[in-house]
Amino acid sequence: MRKLIASIFMTLDGFMADTSGDLGWSHSPPEQEQATGDLLDHADTILLGRVTYEIISAYWPFATDDEFLAAKMNTIPKVVLSKTLQQATWGKWNNATIAPGEIGAEVMKLKQQPGKDIVIIGSSKIVSALAQRGLIDDFRLLINPVALGNGVRLFDDLSTPVKLKLLSSLTYPGGVMETHYAPA
């Protein structure tokens, strides 16, 4: 079965954005961008929630090729998990589709297809729902050295705690830690 990896920027107090949705606190040193590029090189599907889809589909299709991740973000097919979205677009690539069914079933269907890794970017609601169902194989958490105190929680609406095990960890210049966790 294909591996599902969630790649997420977060603060050390568990937020993925401040109250206005801003990510101004996040650092992306070149070494980390390179690691994200490597992650995408091993993937053939990017999975998104509606909110993250709406934010990044307004950005990447219009980014220039000299932006390091632009080619990868644009050429890899995207699947948007949403019951309400009517249409998904992705500039001239036009490679975003909507999966409107029950989230666990949609993701199981994707995981059972042959292919490379599936990567979730951002999408806190999707990450929480899939974490609860034990469907995420690798949580790649980029923990920034900041506490926000308020904002959009990465993990919310969990009915029970999710136990994990630490797979690996490294530190980038600027103090961002990349940690990988798997379900315990």
Partner 1 sequence: MGKVIVSTFISLDGYINGPNGDTNWFLGDPEMQQYGADTLAAAAALLLGRRTYELFLAYWPQATGDSADRLNRLPKVVFSRTLERVEWGSWPAPHLVKDHIPAAVAALRQQYAGDLVIFAGAGIVKAFHELDLIDEYRLLIHPLVLGGGTPLFQGWTPLKLKLLREDHFPNGVTILRYTKE
* Chain contacts with partner 1 (rule: CB under 8 A): 11-15, 18, 25, 128, 131, 141, 143, 145-150, 153-166, 169, 171, 175, 177, 179, 181, 184
Considering beta carbons, is residue 88 or 103 the nearer one to partner 1? Answer: 103
Which residues have C-beta within 8 Å of that of residue 102, sequence separation ≥ 6?
none
Q: In whole angstroms, how close is the CB of 170 to partner 1 at the nearest point?
A: 9
Rank residues 7 and 11 by Cβ distance to partner 1 and give the closer one.
Answer: 11
CB of 163 to partner 1, least distance (A): 5
Least distance CB 13 / partner 1 (angstroms): 4
Question: Is the Cβ of residue 1 or residue 167 nearer to partner 1 in the bound state?
Answer: 167
Residues 183, 122, 51, 105, Cα dihedral to 10°:
-30
Closest CA to 110 of 122, 126, 94, 125: 126
| Nearby residues of 164 by Cβ (< 8 Å), 6 or more positions away | 139, 181, 182, 183, 184
